[in-house]
Structure 1
Amino acid sequence: MSEYPWSEATATGVGSHPGEDHLEAARVVFGEVPALPYLPELPARGVGADMIGRSAGLLVELPVEVQPSGWRFADRPGRDARRARDHLVRDLDGLEEVAQDYEGPLKLQVCGPWTLAAAIELRHGDKALADPGAVRDMAGSLAEGVAAHVATVRRRVPGVTGIVLQVDEPGLPGVLAGTVPTASGFARLPAAEPDIVAQHLTTVFEATDAFPIVHCCAPGVPFRLLRRAGAKGVSTDAALLRRRDEDAIGEAVEAGTALFLGVLPGTDVRLADIGVIAEPAQRLWGRLGFPPATLAAQVVLTPACGLAGASPRYARQALARCREAAVVLREDPGE
């Protein structure tokens, strides 16, 4: 039996989709990447459907609202928080309808505690990242909300055999480097301590029995830190990987960490042949010195990032092309 919830030669998406039709987005996902479908996100619907607002709506006893500067903690739940919850409930209704007879793994996406902390402001205006106590409380609150969310999905879609929990942390490299601007924009917040970063990620990972992966589509993905925190997979843009990252990637692969490699753009381009799309994963595997036979099990192909900025036609084609290219990973290059 595989140590991963998915089968060999699998593809999936990162999460976001264009448009506002949640039912159509779910149908596209289950039709084009049936080996590892996911709950799509539609940020074009506005407040509460965006990455920050959607996950802030999961926070337990930490209400949020939208101010001109962005999301901010509030004294009590208001219209903006309700809107985020309504979007999610509607999406879950659609998921339940589309996945009625589905059996297999399912991927869910939530924004991670550090990217949330770098985006949500405290009541007095500073970003939550400036207050270690606030970050700690938010990580615990998020963990509780994520546990409830996963339980709800399991109840609504009883055929799910395993959940992959994708924790989106595009802001994490900036948090570690100390490049996140203050609320005023005139200064930078101090770099977070790696041990504390790992600790709060672990809090979220361990809240459920889901298979935790971290998605980061920024340069400088901290592979070793993510492994230490308990991530069982890392999702990233293959084009942003640097040669100096490869020692850490090799250590992760050797330890069994899955790689979700973004191999085509998230916005409309002319799509290459499937062999060309699969090539970055094959080349990386070869440089790392791992046997081709393990590639299709440990690597999942995805677009480089979310598809919210793409046309609906391209979004469908991109997922289909990832699915077709994933089959190439299973082929023996010697044949």
Structure 2
Amino acid sequence: MAAASGIGSHPGEDERAYAEALRVVVGELSDGHVPYLPEVPGRGPHATMTGRATAVWAELGADLQPVGWRLTGGGTGVDQRRARSLLGQDLDRLEEATQGYAGRLKVQVCGPWTLAATVERPRGDRVLGDHGARRDLAAALAEGIGAHVADLRRRVPAAEVVVQVDEPALPAVLAAQVPTASGFSRHRRVDPPEASAALELVLGAITAAGAEPWVHSCAADVPVDLLVGAGARGVLVDLDVLAPTAYDRLARTLEDGGTVGLGVVPGVGSGAPQPGQLIERVLRFTEMLGLDPEEVGSGLLLTPACGLAGRPGEEAAGVLRACREAAADLP
């Protein structure tokens, strides 16, 4: 049977919104689907995708500047400590809400290339512009993820942990489309072998920690071959924008027993879709790939295309419910 999940983010700006997001996720997805640790980035920079990553990675210091997160030459800064404290509080709530839970449980972390394209070096401009800094960042992320998975497994002992590595900027990194700090130029492209090596380091750390590595990217030109070659056991995409060139590789991923997450609901919009509409989309997709839904159904995951932070709270719950009901009714 297909399953349903979410990408990570939920709407809101305070701790009550986080409590509601967790209630919705656990309530909608605990029975045979893939619940996850919600993110509510509206709570501030410590709760964003990048802020969460600074809370996870090991040894590298970071602080907040007007331009965003920046590496420091010293130890952990006050902003990084706040990010770690917030993540710890969120994990405490997840542990309480999932007492006795057994099954897949997902956490999300920003990937090494999106971080390299986002985080500043101590003297300015992106980590992406420094070969040594981006290697150090990938290594720190890999080390920190191992400890993060171990902590989650301690908190929810019967969980089958999945780590979703978010790489929305990876296609831009590969295509030399990331602007420099001045905005007048672009960083040089990263060659696929180097991109793969950093991903292998991070995805390998996830596997070594006893978790299953997935990668999510909602760009059009998702490099599925590169992701699977680097060790991803699941690939999550936005079905509305995905280039047809990726279809064959996604089909092989399903045939090989991997997971393909189909983003079948826009992250922003008006109202939740009907489950029947989502079923039709999935069936059209599998037919186009020449796959039998009954044979690959257990590898299919229905999700929103991206996070749900851009939707009102009641719509976010409705989107997850529609994905769950559609997954349960697929052939």
Per the shorter chain, which TM-score range?
over 0.9
Q: Within 5 A, what are the aligned runs for 1:273-312? A: 273-312=274-313
Whether the aligned pair in 2 keeps the contact of 1:26 and 1:39 (CA below 8 Å) is yes
Q: Report the more deviating stretch, 21-30 or 164-173.
A: 21-30
**Deviation, structure 1 residue 133:** 1.2
Task: Report what 1:318 is aligned to.
Answer: 319
Moved over 3 A (4+): none
Whether the aligned pair in 2 keeps the contact of 1:9 and 1:327 (CA below 8 Å) is yes
Instruction: Return the alpha-carbon distance in structure 1 between the equivalents of residues 88 and 44 of structure 2.
Output: 15
Instruction: Return the alpha-carbon distance in structure 2 between the equivalents of residues 127 and 141 of structure 1.
Output: 17
Matched, 1:118 2:117: yes
After superposition, the C-alpha distances for 1:231-271 in whole angstroms (9 at most, x for unaligned) are: 01100111112223223323333333311111112224133
Instruction: Return the alpha-carbon distance in structure 1 between the equivalents of residues 125 and 262 of structure 2.
Output: 35
Question: Where do 5+ consecutive residues of structure 2 fail to align?
Answer: none
Task: Report what 1:13 is aligned to.
Answer: 6
Task: Report what 1:94 is aligned to.
Answer: 93
After superposition, the C-alpha distances for 1:174-193 in whole angstroms (9 at most, x for unaligned) are: 00001001122111001101
Task: Report what 1:232 is aligned to.
Answer: 233
Task: Report what 1:173 is aligned to.
Answer: 171
**Deviation, structure 1 residue 295:** 3.5
Question: How many residues are matched?
Answer: 322
SS in structure 1 opposite 2:47? coil
Q: Within 5 A, what are the aligned runs for 1:72-221? A: 72-74=70-72, 75-160=74-159, 162-207=160-205, 208-221=209-222
Q: 1:32 aligns with which of 17, 20, 28?
A: 28
Whether the aligned pair in 2 keeps the contact of 1:11 and 1:302 (CA below 8 Å) is yes
Task: Report what 2:259 is aligned to.
Answer: 258
Q: Report the more deviating stretch, 187-196 or 235-244.
A: 235-244
Task: Report what 1:60 is aligned to.
Answer: 58
**TM-score relative to the length of structure 1:** 0.93
- One-letter amino acid of the counterpart of residue 259, structure 1: V
Whether the aligned pair in 1 keeps the contact of 2:278 and 2:326 (CA below 8 Å) is yes
SS in structure 1 opposite 2:264? strand
- One-letter amino acid of the counterpart of residue 25, structure 1: A
- One-letter amino acid of the counterpart of residue 23, structure 2: R
Question: Where do 5+ consecutive residues of structure 1 fail to align?
Answer: 1-7
**TM-score relative to the length of structure 2:** 0.94
Q: Report the more deviating stretch, 271-280 or 320-329.
A: 271-280
Q: 1:23 aligns with which of 19, 22, 27?
A: 19
Over the matched positions of the two proteins, sequence identity in percent amounts to: 48
Whether the aligned pair in 2 keeps the contact of 1:224 and 1:252 (CA below 8 Å) is no
Note the aligned Cα RMSD (angstroms): 1.3
Task: Report what 1:4 is aligned to.
Answer: none
**Deviation, structure 1 residue 120:** 0.4
Instruction: Return the alpha-carbon distance in structure 1 between the equivalents of residues 102 and 111 of structure 2.
Output: 27
Instruction: Return the alpha-carbon distance in structure 2 between the equivalents of residues 61 and 245 of structure 1.
Output: 37
Q: Report the more deviating stretch, 309-318 or 267-276.
A: 267-276
